Amino acid sequence: MLMLYNTLSKRVEEFKPLNEFRVKMYFCGPTVYDYMHIGHARAYVAADVLKRYLSLKGYDVLHVQNITDIDDKIIKKANDENVSWEVITERYIKDYIDMLNRLNIKIHIHPRVSDHIKDIIEFIEDLISKGYAYVTPSGSVYFSVDSYPHYGELSGRLDRTEWRQEEEFLAEKKKPYDFALWKAAKPGEPYWESPWGKGRPGWHIECSVMSSKYLGSQFDIHGGGQDLIFPHHENERAQSEARFGLRPWVKYWFHVGYLTIRKEKMSKSLGNVIYLKDIFNKVKPEVLRLWVLSAHYRTPLEFSEEYLENANKLFNRLVSSVNLLKKLLTEVEPTHYLDERGISILKELSNIRESFYRAMDDDLNTPKALACVHELTTLVFRDLEQKPTLASVLKAYSIMREFNEVLGVLDNYIYTGVKEELLNKLIELLVIIRQKHREVKDYETADWIRSELMKLGVKLMDYKDRSKWVLEL
Ligand SMILES: [Zn+2]
């Protein structure tokens, strides 16, 4: 039974999705005005591990993660560089997708705000007609916080006299804590036509709109970094529960802790931001994943060379043990008899597997789960290498594969080998096809095949009468 911390109730709860077989989750993605940094990696790996664990437990998970491609920061960056906002967003969306791929994170739907303007307008019109929002003479629309009685419950900010938001609009808002749903266009800014004139959506509305479009008006998990709890998630919740008249809009709120460097929060203003594109020159994405999992997702995660080195050691140990298991699998004889030690190894393996699940069930306690992974490798090196039996090797290998469903760091080692022969034959076939093009002097196609193979890590070397190839992975 999975127990998960819920920011709304502020306690660990038993996880029961709205539909017993399916889990629908929405995670707030990046505002694309800069390259991805290790803080993004932390949040997205945490969400990915939650999704992977739910999938491992048999749920059919649908994961939506938005891309904010309309925002003040994007407009500023475009003005600074004297290019259109699309140039900026395209550049950083490419980086975002590239980094997710390297981190082995797969997301079903990446909705972009600029593709959902019509849906956003519809949502806002509904809020206005239901009395939750108001239009100002400038052509902006604001959410009236006082009209929604549960405002502040998620973040615990119930006393509204204490705070205000979006201060630049204080003059036209009815209350200092109301927030923009639609911002009237200022000169030189990108805009879209709307019933209230030219303008663009405020930040918070996009997530209410895109989550409901793909996941329905109620869903299971909404996540993001802890810094999004207020005001972003508080505002999203207000808009959605107001429009749909359903509570709770989201069953479980999942928030990921900060990243620290020398115990200070990583931030642009402190100038200590570490970009993924840079760190990947030194550290494998798999190692970064293991480092993220070395801390519980709700606690601060400290960045240090030492922690990365620990993760690197664990990764190398995992790879060696997988390679050893694969080798043993081809060598061991069928098991007809087990001595006492052989029987107790099988029990130990089952215990390690159970401890891993117990740790993950305990609000995704990944540090504990990693300790189980370490224990498994110890058993592989200590016992299986010395005295392997088919029973123990098979069991250890299948547990390793199961663990990797959550860790996502061994795909390149686990999923190769079995079909290697077929892979080799297919490459050979492409080499022969290319050779045939060369023979009829169709060098264009031949070169194209060569360069496409190169992109996949297959390097061709041409000799007088034949070509050889080598895998450069
Ligand atoms: Zn959001």
On the question of pLDDT at 421 being above 80, the answer is: no
Residue 68 CA to ligand 1 center (angstroms) comes to: 8
**Domain membership of residue 441 as a residue range:** 420-471
- Asked if the structure places residue 298 within a domain, the reply is no
Residues 18 and 115 in one domain: yes
Q: How far is the CA of 17 from the centre of ligand 1 (A)?
A: 21
Residues 330 and 282 in one domain: no
- Greater confidence (355 vs 162) lies with 355
Last residue of a domain, one of 229, 261, 290: 290
pLDDT in tens, 252-278: 999 999 999 988 888 888 889 999 999
CA of 29 to the centre of ligand 1 (A): 7
Higher pLDDT, 61 or 387: 61
User: What's the rounded mean pLDDT across residues 52-64?
Assistant: 98
Of the three residues 385, 414, 443, the one that is the final residue of a domain is 414
Give the pLDDT of residue 419: 64
Predicted local distance difference test score (pLDDT) of residue 473: 58
**pLDDT of residue 372 exceeding 70:** yes
Q: Cα separation of 70 and 87, whole Å? A: 12
CA 211 / ligand 1 centre spacing (Å):
9
> Any idea what the CATH number is for the domain that residue 330 is in?
1.20.120.640
Cα(286) to ligand 1 centroid in Å equals 27
pLDDT at 423 (0 to 100): 78
pLDDT at 155: 96
C-alpha 436 – ligand 1 centre gap (Å): 54
407 pLDDT higher than 90: yes
> Could you report the per-residue pLDDT of 196-213, keeping only the tens digit for each?
999 999 999 999 999 999
418 pLDDT more than 60 = no
CA 18 to centroid of ligand 1, rounded, Å? 21
Task: Indicate whether 85 and 64 sit together in one domain.
Answer: yes
What is the identity of the amino acid at 193? E
pLDDT at site 90 = 98
Q: What percentage of the chain reaches a pLDDT higher than 90? A: 84
Between the CA of 301 and the centroid of ligand 1 the distance, in Å, is: 22
191 lies in a domain?
Answer: yes
- The pLDDT, as a whole number, for residue 472 is 75
150 and 256, same domain (yes or no): yes
3-state secondary structure of 67: strand
Q: Per residue in 228-242, pLDDT tens? A: 999 999 999 999 999
**Whether residue 364 sits in one domain with residue 446:** no
Q: Determine the distance separating the centroid of ligand 1 and the alpha carbon of 457, expressed in angstroms.
A: 38
Query: If pLDDT is split at 50, 70 and 90, which confidence band does 416 have?
Result: low
pLDDT category, 362, cuts 50, 70, 90? Answer: very high
CA distances from 170 to 114, 132, 160, 362, 471 (A): 27, 18, 15, 45, 62
Give 275 Cα–ligand 1 centroid separation in angstroms.
Answer: 22
In the chain, the number of structural domains is: 3
Instruction: Give domain status of residue 350, yes or no.
Output: yes
Considering the domain architecture, whether residues 46 and 147 belong to the same structural domain is answered as: yes
* Stretch among 228-232, 291-295, 304-308, 333-337 having the lowest mean pLDDT: 333-337
Same domain? 94 vs 186? yes
Rounded to the nearest 5 degrees, what angle is found at the Cα of 77, between the Cα atoms of 75 and 83?
85
The alpha carbon of 230 and the centre of ligand 1 are apart by a number of angstroms equal to 11
Residues 408 and 464 reside in one and the same domain: no
Retrieve residue 153's tokens: 């419950």
pLDDT at 223: 98
Q: Which domain CATH number covers 210?
A: 3.40.50.620
Asked if pLDDT for residue 187 goes beyond 60, the answer is yes
Other beta carbons less than 10 A from residue 107's beta carbon: 17
Identify whether 44 is part of a domain: yes
Contact 225, 39 (CB under 8 A): yes
Determine the average pLDDT of the residues in 298-314.
96
What average pLDDT does the chain have? 94
Task: Specify the higher pLDDT residue, 269 or 371.
Answer: 371
> Which residues make Cβ contacts (< 8 Å) with residue 357, sequence separation at least 6?
none
* Number of neighbours of residue 77 by Cβ within 10 angstroms: 20
d(C-alpha 201, C-alpha 125), whole Å: 12
* 37 and 108 both lie in a single domain: yes
Ligand 1 centroid to Cα of residue 233, in Å, is: 7
Q: Both 16 and 115 in a single domain?
A: yes
pTM (two decimals): 0.88
Query: Given a cut of 80, is residue 417 above it in pLDDT?
Result: no
Q: What is the pLDDT of residue 457?
A: 86
How confident is residue 313, by pLDDT bands cut at 50, 70 and 90? very high
- Here the tokens at position 438 are 């060369």
Question: Among 40-44, 328-332, 355-359, which stretch is predicted with the lowest mean pLDDT?
Answer: 328-332
Asked if residue 248 has a cis previous peptide bond (ω within 30° of 0), the answer is yes
Same domain assignment for residues 229 and 326 = no
Residue 466 has pLDDT above 90, yes or no: no
74 CA → ligand 1 middle, Å:
16
Q: 43 and 162 share a domain?
A: yes
Which residue type is seen at 152?
G
Distance 66 CA to ligand 1 centre (A): 7
pLDDT value, residue 420:
65
Kindly state whether residue 235 falls inside one of the protein's structural domains. Answer: yes
Domain assignment present for 299? no
Q: How many angstroms is it from 212 CA to the middle of ligand 1?
A: 12
Confidence at residue 414, expressed as pLDDT on a 0 to 100 scale: 86
Please report the DSSP string for 402-445 in residue order.
Answer: HHHHHH---HHHHSSSTTHHHHHHHHHHHHHHHHHHHHTT-HHH
The pLDDT of residue 151 is above 70:
yes
Residue 154, pLDDT > 80, answer yes
If you measure from the C-alpha of residue 247 to the centroid of ligand 1, how many angstroms do you get, rounded to a whole number? 18
Measured from the Cβ of residue 53, the count of other Cβ atoms closer than 10 Å reads 20
> 235 C-alpha vs ligand 1 centroid, how far in Å?
9
Tell me which of 290, 325, 351 is where a domain ends. 290
